[in-house]
Chain A
Amino acid sequence: MLLKSLAATALAAFALGAASGAIAAEKKEKLWELKENQVKPPEGSPLDYLVSGYWFRTPKTRALQDDDFENPAFLWVEQAEAEWTKVDGKAGKSCSSCHDAVEKTMKGVSARYPVYSAKTKKLMAVTHQVNYCRENYMKAKKWKWESDKMLGMTSLIGLQSRGMPVKVSIDGPAEKFFKAGEAFYHERRGQFDLACVHCHQGNYGQYIRADLLSQGHSNGFPTYRLKWQKLGSLHRRFRGCNNNIRAIPYKRGSPEYTNLELYLAWRGMGLKVEAPSVRQ
C-alpha cells in the first residue's frame, strides 16, 4: 500500500514537472508555425509573421471560443445588448439614441481603436470612449474599467468587428502616443528586469515555466480567461504581466497602458479581431 502510494506520488510529481512531458507532445503540432495560421506583418514590423494567441492554445480551449454558446463571455455580451438600448443618466439617452443599432454603427470600431481624439487631446481606448459618451452625452455615471457592464459593452462593440483586420492609425497626432508605447514595450522593468519584447518577440512558442508564450497580441480582448473565470480587459492582462515580472503595474486606463495598447494593435495589424475570445 505504502509502496503503491509512493509510486503514485512519484507519478504525480512527474506529471507536474511535466508540463514538460505534455509539452513534448504538443510540440508535434506547433499550430503557430503553420503558414495558413499566419498573417503578413505590417511594414516595419520586427516579426517575421503574425499569429493570433488562439493558435497557441490547446484544442479544448480553442473549442470554447469556436462556439458562441460554449464561450461564457456571451453571458456579458447578452447583458450589454440590453444595456445598449437602456436609457441611463440625466440626458434621458441610451447608447442607441445616438448610435442606432450596434450591428450597424459599431462595425469596425474596435479594429481601429485606440484613436487620438481632437476633443480630449488624448489617446482613447474603446473603454475611454464609452465613458466619454456616458459622462458627456448621456450625463450618466462612468462605469469602472473592469466592471461587468463595461466589459460587456466593450465585448459587444468588439464583436461587431469580429473577423475584420486590426488597422490602427499611428501617424499624425497619434504618432507621439505610438512612440511612447513602443518605448514602453522595450523598456526593462521590475525586479526581473524584463521588457515585453523579451518574452513576446524572441521567445513566443517557448515555455516560461508552465506557460506557452504567444506573440502577445491584443486582437482577442476583452477575453474570457480560464484562470480569471471571467471576462477581463487588456489592461488587466498588462497588470498581470507587470506583476509577474515584479514591477509595479500601472492603473487600468492609464496613458502608459493606452499607449502600449496602440503599439500592440500596430504590431498585430492584419490579425482578425476575435473579441470576445477565450484564453487560458
Chain B
Amino acid sequence: MSQTEVSGGVHRRSFLIAAGAGGAAFAAAQFTPGIALADKALTEQAIKKVIGDRKPIEGRVSIDGPEIAENGNTVPVGFEVESKMSGGDMVKAVHVFAEGNPRPEVANFWFSADSGAARGAFRMRMAKTQNLIALAEMADGKVYMGKRLVKVTIGGCGG
C-alpha cells in the first residue's frame, strides 16, 4: 500500500463538506519519511540519555491510551509495570517518550518501597499519530519496554 494511495483516498473521503484539497495535501506532508526518521533518531537519543547502552527488553510494561485521541492537546495516558515491587523485582523508574513529538521526552516517574505498584496516569500533548514508549528501569538494572500506537486526528472543524 503506497502512502499516496492511502492519504489521497481514505482521507479525502472523510472530508464531509468544509475542508478543501489543501487540507489533504497538508496532512500528507506531515508524513514524509524524512520527518519520521528524524523523530525516531531524536527518540533514540533521548532514550540513550536515560538508560545508556542498556538494551530494553520488550514486555512487562503496558501503556493505556486511547486507540484514537479525540484531541491531541489532552490525551489521557496510563501505565503499569508487572512487578512485586519488593526485593530485586522492584521498579525504580518509568520513563515515557513520544516518538512523533518535536521533543520526545514526556515524563519520568520514580517509585519507592511504599509505592505498592508501579502504575500511574497523566494527560499529554501529542502532535500527531505516533508510538508512545514507556521504559521501566528495574532495581537490578534491567530495562523493560512497552509501546502503544495512539492515533491523533489533525484538523477538522472543531472550533
A and B touch in the complex (CB under 8 A): yes
Q: Point out the residues of chain A lying under 8 angstroms from B30, CB to CB.
A: 16
A109 to B96, CA, bound (A): 45
Contact with A along B130-159 (1 / 0, CB 8 A): 100000000000000000010111111111
Please count the residue pairs between chain A and chain B whose beta carbons lie under 8 angstroms apart in the complex: 149
A19 to B14, CA, bound (A): 8
Q: Of the candidates B37, B73, B149, B156, which one forms a contact with A210 in the assembled complex, judged by CB atoms under 8 Å apart? A: B156
A280 touches B70 (CB 8 A): yes
Q: Point out the residues of chain A lying under 8 angstroms from B159, CB to CB.
A: 237, 239-241, 243-244
Q: Which partner residue on chain A sits nearest B36 by CB separation?
A: A9
Q: Point out the residues of chain A lying under 8 angstroms from B32, CB to CB.
A: 9
Q: Point out the residues of chain A lying under 8 angstroms from B73, CB to CB.
A: 226-229
The majority secondary structure among interface residues of chain B is: loop
Known: A8-B36, A13-B31. A203 touches B16 (CB 8 A): yes
A208 touches B156 (CB 8 A): yes
Q: Which of B110-147 contact A (CB under 8 A)?
A: 128-130
- B8 to chain A: closest CB distance in Å? 9
Contact with B along A49-63 (1 / 0, CB 8 A): 000000001101101
Q: Which partner residue on chain A sits nearest B128 by CB separation?
A: A16
A10 touches B15 (CB 8 A): no
Q: Of the candidates B33, B67, B71, B149, which one forms a contact with A227 in the assembled complex, judged by CB atoms under 8 Å apart? A: B71
A243 to B130, CA, bound (A): 29
A226 touches B18 (CB 8 A): no
Q: Say yes or no: is A18 at the interface (Cβ < 8 Å to chain B).
A: yes
Q: Which partner residue on chain A sits nearest B2 by CB separation?
A: A10
Q: Which of B1-58 contact A (CB under 8 A)?
A: 1-3, 6-7, 9-11, 13-19, 23, 27-28, 30-33, 36-37, 40
Interface size bracket, A side: 35 or more
A66 to B73, CA, bound (A): 20
A58 to B1, CA, bound (A): 29
Q: Say yes or no: is B68 at the interface (Cβ < 8 Å to chain A).
A: yes
A17 touches B27 (CB 8 A): yes
Q: Say yes or no: is A206 at the interface (Cβ < 8 Å to chain B).
A: yes
A210 touches B31 (CB 8 A): no
A209 to B158, CA, bound (A): 10
Q: Which of A52-87 contact B (CB under 8 A)?
A: 57-58, 60-61, 63-64
Residues on A lying within 8 angstroms of B by beta carbon are: 5-6, 8-10, 12-23, 25-26, 57-58, 60-61, 63-64, 192, 194, 198-199, 203, 206-211, 213, 225-229, 237, 239-241, 243-245, 280
Task: Name 9 extra pairs, CB < 8 A, besides A21-B151, A227-B71.
Answer: A16-B128, A16-B129, A16-B151, A16-B153, A26-B68, A58-B68, A211-B153, A240-B158, A244-B18
Listed from nearest, the 5 A-B pairs whose CB atoms lie closest are A240-B159, A210-B153, A280-B70, A211-B156, A226-B74
